[in-house]
Structure 1
Amino acid sequence: MNVSFSALDAPLLREDRDGVVTLRLNRPHQYNALSQAVLDALQHEFDSLAKDETLRCVVLAAAGKAFCAGHDLREMHGNRRLDYYQALFAQCSRVMQSIQALPVPVVARVHGIATAAGCQLVASCDLAIASDAARFAVSGINVGLFCSTPSVALSRNVSTKRAFDMLVTGRFIDAATAADWGLINQAVPAEELDAAVTAKVEEIRAKSPTAVRHGKTMFHRQREMKLAEAYAYAGDVMARNMMEEDADEGIRAFLEKRPAGWKPL
């Protein structure tokens, strides 16, 4: 077992364990608001993880009572310049896109509140499992700010009318509603949250790592294509996947009625 930890006073904590990296937002007294330091740390980790060929899965979690309360409004209010805000939102958008660009699944472990850019963070992850006490909102409208960049991720998870309702009213939805609407995959009792995240990670780790990497990249790219283009692209990816050793082994194992032995990364 390979385990490593980062410094406990950092704004973002990292734990490595057997190909699974857990990144934990670590500003509990600020409800894990996304300061520039946090965004810098997230981007650094995502850039590093993108090059890690042994990586199997990433879990995005948070310390304290909340998952993430969005941008750090105190920090933002202290820098009232258009160029600052443009750079900040571009930086945050890059972080969100880096989650999708990673070659492995990213699972959000959500507890407490996930609001504004925190809700965007949940929506940007490939999978999300939440405590049944978690609550979600894109509440910038309550302080005179429409959550424009969070709306990009939110509207790609839930229906148009549901997304706009959340954006224009700032209202909270509970975890059961978030699961029903497709913002998260599952809502579980708080005491079962870690077990549910671990179970999902183990489900992913049990699959062919090569197939998962082929699949995640293809899945996100094809969503932005027209139908015929998407099918042509997906067909080519699937054909190349079929040429991998894992596909040969998996099909042989199925035909021979035995467990598959995946090629290690």
Structure 2
Amino acid sequence: MQSTLAFIHWNVNPEIFHIGSLSVRWYGLLFASGFLIGYNIVEKMFKFEKSNEKWLESLFIYMLVATVIGARLGHVFFYGWDYYSQHPAEIIKVWHGGLASHGGALGIFIALFFWSRKVSKRSVLWVLDRVVVPTALVASMIRLGNLMNSEIYGVATNLPWGFIFEHNGETVAKHPTQIYESLSYLFTFGLLIYIFFKTNLRKNEGFIVGLFFVLVFCSRFLIEFIKEDQEAFEAGMALNMGQILSIPFIIGGLYLIFRAIKKPEVNYPAAKN
């Protein structure tokens, strides 16, 4: 990476190193690191409110599987069905890239619905209020992974922090929208973790997950205006696919916030480990 007075020339190799056919990439490292950090955060949250720490292992597995499958299928069906319908074997090749946050969010919700019924026996909103806190941090790290891959960036800009993504053959500075999104998600993480540990709003089921949806998908919706289209079919659309898919999450988030404020606090007894 070289900097000039005007722009930043970005030419980072997305691969850290490889051994034979095994390749270790920045994206995968950041993704995996986010999950490990997230596990530790949820563990501290469980200890803080005396929840059953034996639930953590199964929760981690449900989350990991749901995120990967949901995000991958979200990309396949929302962004690349024309290609994947003709090349179905490519669907399982997650390491080639192609994950959609909307699909990941939907996958997590479905998985945690079943986890709540089978494991915790508590409301699905209870566990969602907890897992979305580290999820915001994981999302921030994933966007940094997109930056290292020189992908999902913005339209041309004359701003001094514009990035020339030379790895992709770009010669014009573009908005580093990966950084914009990463910072917005990091802010969301900081606010949510403060609310959980420093206020009683964690007892208003649905408030934290509702706020997560509003903050994450509102920032996503707005940043999409300066982001290049991810797929050819988005050309000419008033709102691109990312914005269209964000609207239901924003509406749902507002509903959950107002619902949580109106309902009384929920106090669960300390769990026996």
TM-score, normalization by structure 1: 0.31
* Higher RCO (CA 8 Å, separation ≥ 6 residues): 2
Q: TM-score if structure 2 supplies the norm length?
A: 0.30
Higher strand share: 1
